[in-house]
Structure formats: C-alpha cells, structure tokens
Amino acid sequence: MRLDNKTAFITGAGSGLGREATTRFAEEGATIVAADIDLESAEETVDQVEEAGQDGAAVELDVRDADAVHAAVDEAVEEFGLDVVVNNAGVSHQRTKIEEINEGERDRVIDVNVKGVWNGCHAAIPHFKEQGSGAIVNTASLAGVIGAPELGAYSLSKGAVVNFTRTVAAEVGPAGVRANAVCPGVTDTAMPRKNRTEAEWETAKEEMARYYPLKRLGNPEDIANAMLFLASDEADWITGQALVVDGGFSCT
C-alpha cells in the first residue's frame, strides 16, 4: 500500500476534501490524525478510518491558533510519528466585489487559509527536518492560480498558499522534505453548495459543467487522489509544485 506504516496529520478532516483524504489515506495504509474545529465531525471521520482497518485519532483544532497547532502536531509525533501533513482546513466567502467585502470577512479568510497553512508547516517542519523526510500537501485552489472575480479575499489567500508552498519546498528540500499544493477547480463539497437548495445546486452544477472540457465538476475523490499521490513515495522527486486538478477548466 502506498502509505503503509506512515502517519498523516490532516486538518479540516471533519468534512469535504479533508474527510475524503483521510479515507483514501487510510485505505492506503496510513495511520490518521484527523484535526478539525468541529470535534464531533473529526470523530466521525476517525470512525470511517477505523472501518478501513487503520488506527486514527481525532483532534479538536482551530488552525488559526499557532500554539494549539504546535501542541497537536507534537502530540501526534509522540504518539504515532509523523510522515505527512495535509494543511487542508479552509473557508471561503460569498461572492462580493473587492471594494465591498468588509475587513472582518477578509481577515477571517486570510486567518484560516493563510495563517492556518503557515501554522501547520511551522509545526511540522522541525520534526521532518530532524528525521530527514516528510511530505507536506497544502490545499490551495484554482482561484489561487488564475483568479476568480468576486472571490477576492479567497483568491488572495489561495495565491499566498501556492507561493508559500514553493518557498517551503525550496527551503526544506535539502533536508529531504517535500512540499506541494493541490489546486482544485469547483468540487462537489459543502463549500460551493452553501446557501443553495439541492435543486439549485443541481442546476448550478449543470451550468458550471459546461465550462469544463470534461463536462463535470470535481468529486472529492478526484482531489483526494491527487493529495494521495503527492503524499506518497511515488512523488518522491516532486516538490514545489501546484498541481491543478480542474477537469481542464484552466486550459480553455
């Protein structure tokens, strides 16, 4: 199995892409530390991990809290060891013109999406450097590569994740540590469904899919598979990359 005898620490693991990633990683042999601001959701994720026959632990974690992130990572290292960190926790905002988005909403997005990734890397890097190995996978977005009108704060945050990932890769590569980002297009998770009824979402999916060469939106497993590849030894000579997983949207 691709992650046999490895431990993965995954943030935002209680739902969406984070939950899908934990399941895929567990299926490939990983021990999972599932961190989420919603402990109950993280525990539900760990139940799925254990159903897959792997060990798991749930951690209540606000990724904006640097001390809490360090403590959680240190505890994971002590209990299980650490081989992979997936900094996946993230938030978006309602579509709003740049000049109309309020400062509080902008800061909320930056605090989770940028500081959260910084904190996860900051906590893991010393452990990875000490052992001479480790893989970091950061969840960015297509919006951080090509931009997205009326998603200014979100695009700002995800663009920062992409460039920070490159910086991390360049800095820690000599220690045997890799860092990459995944940049999903629109994926069928709770985030794009927010404030839409099921019927409205189905209509929106059909409309958006017209702009994708593969004629569908992403599924969570599409993104989890990309995360799994970057976390595995199959990607042993890949670092500093922003892997766009978008059904071809960015090539049209």
Give yes or no: 211 in active site.
Answer: no
Q: Is the dihedral of CA 71, 122, 232, 81 positive or negative?
A: negative
Q: Choose, from 9, 80, 118, 154, the residue flagged as catalytic.
A: 154
Give the per-residue SS3 of the chain. CCCCCCEEEEECCCCHHHHHHHHHHHHCCCEEEEEECCHHHHHHHHHHHHHCCCCEEEEECCCCCHHHHHHHHHHHHHHHCCCEEEECCCCCCCCECHHHCCHHHHHHHHHHHHHHHHHHHHHHHHHHHHHCCEEEEEECCHHHCCCCCCEHHHHHHHHHHHHHHHHHHHHHHHHCEEEEEEEECCECCHHHHCCCCHHHHHHHHHHHHCCCCCCCCECHHHHHHHHHHHHCHHHCCCCCCEEEECCCHHHC
Residues with catalytic roles: 154
